[in-house]
């Protein structure tokens, strides 16, 4: 079995569902003939036909509206928004219709749609191509928000998202699209949604992160090990709904927590995790929770991008602060 990248795992999952479920459709800007801007849908139109994998006009509002209508009629649309920073014109359909359809119809209709979007910075692109606004969607009742951090999780979580009866925002970190390779069996086995993944066991501090930031977080955990600090690493994976039970269980063991995300600091998912830890596990904490995040600015262009992203050094500084707290 050959190793594949995260973007290839996305392609593999889409192909599996297209082959095994005739209700699945894939569409978006340039996803058909060109295979998408990152080639996540490369070869799918040729294999499954232009009635199942097709291009749309440059109109994100229309793409989301089409997906809602298809899902309401029993299809399983997988719509691609070319970059997360382009999704805002589609926000009305996602929030006002997709997220509310089950409640609005008192369960008579559901909305089994997935909106995929490349996410985050680190590829030296302009500002709208580098957004990390997952918290906008996590705030909306009725939406699931999922972000893989490896090829294995991209494959399994995307399968689960397509099979879910409710709308899922599936964010794919562009910075690690081709950075990591893993053996990913094409066996159609989904991974559970709404669950954290324990990537590394530890006893001194809990590191909580998701998406591309797991790269720096795991590197920091390995460095800490050489310094005699045992770090437990949790991949949140499903940002909404949060699996706080797993995070709390870890913090009850370690007594310390550092949360790492590349999104802006204020009102980020890290703030919600910290708030819930304060509510439900305060007596287990032996040091204040630390957050290592992006800044409350637009992502700076090109040469300054690395200054915006949390680094291994910043994570190590935060860990040393919680370890030194008395």
Q: pLDDT digits over 7-18, tens only?
A: 999 999 999 999
Q: Is the pLDDT of residue 1 over 70?
A: no
CA distance 6 to 62: 28
> Which residue matches tokens 């992160």?
209
Distance set, CA 118 to CA 21, 97, 106, 134 (Å) = 24, 22, 33, 12
- H/E run at residue 3: strand 3-5
pLDDT for 185 equals 96
Handedness of CA 252, 242, 16, 10 (dihedral sign): negative
Q: Is the pLDDT of residue 234 over 70?
A: yes
What ranges do the domains of the chain cover? 3-183, 197-324
pLDDT for 2 equals 84
CA distance 291 to 269: 10
CA distance 101 to 93: 11
pLDDT for 171 equals 98
Higher pLDDT, 300 or 140: 140
- Give me 318's structure tokens: 């935060």
- Residues whose CB falls within 8 Å of the CB of residue 280, separated by 6 or more in sequence, listed in order: 244, 248
Mean pLDDT of the chain: 96
Which are the catalytic amino acids? 129
User: The domain 197-324: what is its CATH number?
Assistant: 3.40.50.920
Do the domains 3-183 and 197-324 sit in the same CATH topology, yes or no? yes
Average pLDDT estimate for 277-290: 97
Average pLDDT estimate for 208-235: 98
CATH architecture classification, 3-183: 3-Layer(aba) Sandwich (3.40)
| C-alpha closest to that of 260 among 232, 290, 302 | 290
| C-alpha closest to that of 241 among 208, 196, 275, 271 | 196
Contact 217, 311 (CB under 8 A): no
């Amino acid at each position: 079995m050959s190793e594949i990248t995260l973007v290839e795992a996305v392609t593999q999952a889409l192909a599996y569902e297209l082959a095994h479920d005739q209700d699945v459709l894939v569409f978006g800007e340039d996803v058909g003939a060109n295979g998408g801007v990152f080639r996540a849908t490369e070869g799918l139109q040729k294999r499954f036909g232009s009635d199942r994998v097709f291009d749309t006009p440059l109109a994100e509002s229309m793409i989301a509206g089409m997906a809602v209508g298809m899902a309401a009629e029993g299809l399983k649309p997988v719509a691609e928004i070319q970059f997360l920073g382009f999704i805002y014109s589609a926000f009305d359909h996602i929030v006002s219709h997709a997220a509310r359809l089950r409640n609005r119809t008192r369960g008579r209709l559901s909305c089994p749609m997935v909106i995929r979007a490349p996410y985050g910075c680190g590829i030296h692109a302009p500002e709208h191509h580098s957004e990390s606004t997952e918290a906008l969607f996590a705030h909306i009742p009725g939406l699931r928000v999922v972000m893989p951090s490896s090829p294995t999780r991209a494959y399994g979580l995307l399968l689960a998202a397509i099979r879910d009866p409710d709308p899922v925002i599936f964010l794919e970190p562009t910075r690690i699209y081709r950075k990591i390779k893993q053996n990913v069996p094409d066996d159609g086995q989904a991974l559970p949604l709404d669950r954290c993944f324990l990537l590394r066991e530890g006893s001194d501090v809990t590191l909580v992160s998701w998406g591309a930031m797991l790269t720096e977080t795991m590197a920091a955990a390995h460095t800490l090990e050489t310094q005699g600090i045992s770090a437990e690493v949790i991949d949140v994976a499903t940002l909404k709904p949060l699996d706080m039970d797993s995070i709390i269980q870890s913090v009850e063991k370690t007594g310390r927590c550092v949360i790492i995300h590349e999104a802006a600091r204020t009102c980020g998912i890290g703030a919600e995790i910290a708030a819930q830890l304060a509510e439900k596990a305060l007596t287990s904490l032996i040091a204040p929770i630390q957050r290592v995040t992006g800044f409350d600015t637009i992502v700076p262009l090109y040469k300054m991008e690395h200054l915006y992203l949390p680094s291994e050094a910043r994570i190590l500084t935060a860990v040393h602060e919680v370890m030194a707290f008395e």
